[in-house]
Amino acid sequence: MEVLNKTPFQVKPLLLQDVNGRDQLVIAVKATYSISENGSLTIADEQSEVQMENEFVGEPESSSMLKECEATLCKSSTDVVVNGSVFGGPRVSQLDAGIRVANLRNVCRVFGERHWVKKTGGASISNPKPFEQISLIYENSFGGEDISHEDVALHAMDPRNPVGCGFITKKSKLSAPDLRVPSVENPRQLLKKLGDNPQPVGFGFLSPSWQPRVSFAGTYDEQWQKERCPQLPEDFDHRFYNSANPELISDEYFQGGELVELVNLGKVRKLRFELPKLDFEIVNVSSARKRSILEAKLETVFIEPDEPRVTLLWKATEDVYQKLHKLWFARVTANV
């Protein structure tokens, strides 16, 4: 079908299926804004395209996700995701950083290089060294895996963050020098001794196989294989599509106008701006010249404070089951 894009943003039509195999037309609208130091937003010259596949830091099976595939059905509410760094200095060895958007809040404590120091009866963490820049990727947070034991049955990983560091099992063959100390920690649950299991802290996307996201994916058992494959299982929960850190998933969709406050994220120590408030008109016209007005919902706020810029993704959906042959064109306008 043809899409008449009357906006300065990226627009992409997607044809997907819901949990029952019904065809769904999804119109994705993606807008990228540059953020000035005084908090004003301007439409970026280069607009980010709709992401058609997951993008990872390194190998998909062993690294965290930088960008998510956006060719999916709508999320249940708005995700807030930050992809950036914390900047220190010659005398900065630790620093708290965080974000607040509406009623959402997430804070981390960033440390310079540290290591475990052996002592009688255990180990302690050395004092942090000054740092210049630390990326807020999950590789720098608590988590990871422990496959040190010769018995494979005793191998384990942290399902909340399999690519992190500092995770160790009770019967581990690892010693203190073998473990990397996380540089990004939860200030409410700081790592104090070997074997601690604090909540990983992060601001990026959760991979589909990580907890708690994977708990919403449904049951893929023999019965599903026989009765529903390749459709999603009946117990699939749409909350699976929400891929932000649980601390940064809203209870409902943002409407625009929400205040965003960043502290020590990116090179500007404090940055405040409001999310743009846009009203889209998305009209789908069939071959019979029937018009339907689709509601656009803001599902992802993606902030890159190192740039600094913010990208917002809206989606509008219409059930087009047994109507594919009637699709003609869609027109998208906005009050920019």
Q: DSSP of 32-54, one letter per residue? A: EEEE-TTS-EEE-SSPPPPP-S-
| Alpha carbon 141 to chain centroid, angstroms | 15
Give, in order, the Cα–Cα distances in Å from 332 to each of 4, 30, 147, 318: 6, 12, 52, 14
The rounded distance, in Å, linking the Cα atoms of 336 and 280 is 9
Q: Residues 297, 252: contact at Cβ < 8 Å?
A: no
Tell me what pLDDT residue 286 has: 77
Tell me what pLDDT residue 289 has: 74
The rounded distance, in Å, linking the Cα atoms of 231 and 327 is 23
What single-letter amino acid sits at 332?
A: V
Tell me what pLDDT residue 259 has: 98
Tell me what pLDDT residue 2 has: 87
Strands 79-82, 297-304: pairing is parallel
Angle at 249 between CA 96 and CA 218, to 5 degrees: 130
Phi/psi of residue 232, nearest 5 degrees: -65, 150
pLDDT tens for the chain, 336 residues long, are 789 999 999 999 999 999 988 999 999 999 999 999 999 999 999 999 999 999 999 999 999 999 999 999 999 999 999 999 999 999 999 999 999 999 999 999 999 999 999 887 778 999 999 999 999 999 999 999 999 999 999 999 999 999 999 999 999 998 888 889 999 999 999 999 989 999 999 999 999 999 999 999 999 999 999 999 999 999 999 999 999 999 999 999 999 999 999 999 999 999 999 999 999 999 988 776 778 899 999 999 999 999 999 999 999 999 999 888 888 888 999 988
Tell me what pLDDT residue 313 has: 98
Tell me what pLDDT residue 217 has: 97
| Of 98, 67, 109, 74, residue with least CA distance to 263 | 98
The rounded distance, in Å, linking the Cα atoms of 303 and 132 is 21
| Of 329, 332, 238, 322, residue with least CA distance to 294 | 332
Tell me what pLDDT residue 184 has: 98
Tell me what pLDDT residue 53 has: 97
Determine the 3-state secondary structure of 123 from DSSP: strand
Tell me what pLDDT residue 288 has: 67
Q: Residues 97, 110: contact at Cβ < 8 Å?
A: yes
The rounded distance, in Å, linking the Cα atoms of 252 and 111 is 34
| Alpha carbon 156 to chain centroid, angstroms | 24
Tell me what pLDDT residue 119 has: 81
Query: Which residues lie closer than 8 Å to 9 by C-beta, 6 or more apart?
Result: 29, 30, 31, 32, 43, 47, 334
Q: Residues 179, 165: contact at Cβ < 8 Å?
A: yes
| Of 21, 148, 191, 240, residue with least CA distance to 200 | 191
Residue with tokens 């760094």: 85
Residue with tokens 């974000």: 99
